[in-house]
Structure 1
Amino acid sequence: MRRSILDNNQPGPDILSLPLLVIEDDEGLNRLIRKNLGREGLQVEGVGTGREALAALKDTPDILLLLDLVLPDMTGREILTELAAREIDVPFIIMTGHGDERVAVEMMKLGARDYIIKGTQFIEMLPNIIRRVFCEIGKERKLVAMDAALAQAVENWRATFNAIPDFVSVHDLERRLVRVNKALADHLGVRPEELIGKKCHDVLHNLALPWPTCPLDSALQTRQPATREVNDPHIGIPLQVTCSPMFDIQGELVGVVHVARDISEQKRAAEVIIQSREQYRELYDNAP
């Protein structure tokens, strides 16, 4: 049983197979290329002119081209120019009967995956060349997908970060703000970017030195989460502040996440409970 050109590679997400379009005006050579690559398990079609190629690519742009540099009606360069004008970005391998270093450089600059001279070993070389090109395209597409997923994850994180009603900020080892959520910036009446690089005690407490019982200091020193209640008239509301250390993949401390929650309602509720207890105690003490 004949093996596919992909069988020599370990299977993995970087290996893909695209259909191929052979654009070659020599009918015999076109047929031979298609027959040889078809034996390798590939889907191969063939055309003999530039116009036929452009018509085929209207419906199937996700394809690998084996493009003859000189055709009866168009040059390979003209086909590529027309594809660019149509905003069709398709991978291609240039085939030519005559090697020309200047043309080869030009084609590679235009994005050619390879530049092949149609010599005596040309047909035998094609499977390995196509295997390599498939691997390259697979890796590139995987990177594009990873970049898109990362960008989406960052956007999702940013949206979540800014949707949190608590005051959330990220601080470096020098207590400088490196990220601030919308809730904190809105409370301070500034844009988040205006706070970046400033010391937290300057921004939050209007102090030249850290807040005396700052949990951020404790988190930096102990490398453990720390929680404190902070009542600073400059802030205007009582806060429960939790600071959690951040570490890189080597386990090195790189910063602290600072989460401050408004506990005004809890404070008021606690005061109501205390007042109620005092009233009941007073009633009990004054009972006959």
Structure 2
Amino acid sequence: MNDITKKLILFIVDDDDTSRFILKKYIDRRKIFDIQSYDSGEACMSNIHLNPEVVILDYNLTQSGSRMNGRDVVLSIKKSAKILPRIVMLSGQDDGKIVLELINEGVRDYVIKGDNAFSELDEILDNYLAEKQS
């Protein structure tokens, strides 16, 4: 595959199996991403060497027994990744103070889980792809 047709690596990090499955199916319909999904921050970080271009990350990762929350993962990515991926926080957490802290730490987009989440993700991914092509 050349650079134009090569699939872009995208990580999904969510401790909820159903959410992770649905999100993977939804994004996979685009056929341009090599989607890797993980149930914990630790699993994500053990694969960060794959250099994902986009990371979609839940804030609360406690169901999987993860000791890392979304903020911890963001900070670890910033320290470990060769190239900082586009980080999208997809979470039910809507505390404005936490959102602002995450944006300041390197989260590019913050999407609240709910009725509009998929349309917001579509817009974010479309914008990312447009930026990448320009």
Specify the alignment match of 2:48 in structure 1: 57
**How big is each residue's C-alpha offset from its partner over 1:29-62, in whole Å with a ceiling of 9 and x where there is no partner?**
100011011111132221110111001112x114
Larger radius of gyration: 1
| TM-score normalised by the chain length of structure 2 | 0.80
| Mapped contact 1:20–1:64 kept (Cα < 8 A) | yes
Specify the alignment match of 2:8 in structure 1: 18
Please report how far the alpha carbon of residue 133 of structure 1 lies from its aligned counterpart in structure 2 after TM superposition: 2.4
| TM-score normalised by the chain length of structure 1 | 0.40
Tell me the distance in 1 between the aligned counterparts of 2:7 and 2:94. 28
Tell me the distance in 1 between the aligned counterparts of 2:47 and 2:26. 21
| Mapped contact 2:13–2:40 kept (Cα < 8 A) | yes
Matched, 1:92 2:92: no
The structure-2 alpha-carbon separation of the partners of 1:107 and 1:84, relative to structure 1 and needing over 3 Å to count, comes to same
Listed as ranges, the matches of 1:145-164 within 5 Å are none
Of 63, 78, 82, the match for 2:76: 82
Tell me the distance in 2 between the aligned counterparts of 1:122 and 1:87. 26
Tell me the distance in 2 between the aligned counterparts of 1:87 and 1:129. 21
Q: CA RMSD in A?
A: 2.2
Please report how far the alpha carbon of residue 128 of structure 1 lies from its aligned counterpart in structure 2 after TM superposition: 1.7
Please report how far the alpha carbon of residue 98 of structure 1 lies from its aligned counterpart in structure 2 after TM superposition: 2.4
**How big is each residue's C-alpha offset from its partner over 1:70-113, in whole Å with a ceiling of 9 and x where there is no partner?**
11211111112222332542221011112121111111112222
Bigger relative CO (Cα 8 Å, ≥ 6 apart) = 2
- What is the number of residues matched between the two proteins? 124
Please report how far the alpha carbon of residue 63 of structure 1 lies from its aligned counterpart in structure 2 after TM superposition: 2.3
- 1:123 maps to a residue whose letter is F
Of 45, 62, 65, the match for 2:36: 45
| Mapped contact 1:22–1:45 kept (Cα < 8 A) | yes
Listed as ranges, the matches of 1:232-247 within 5 Å are none
For structure 2, the residue ranges without an aligned partner over 5 or more in a row are none
For structure 1, the residue ranges without an aligned partner over 5 or more in a row are 1-12, 143-288
Of 36, 42, 50, the match for 2:26: 36
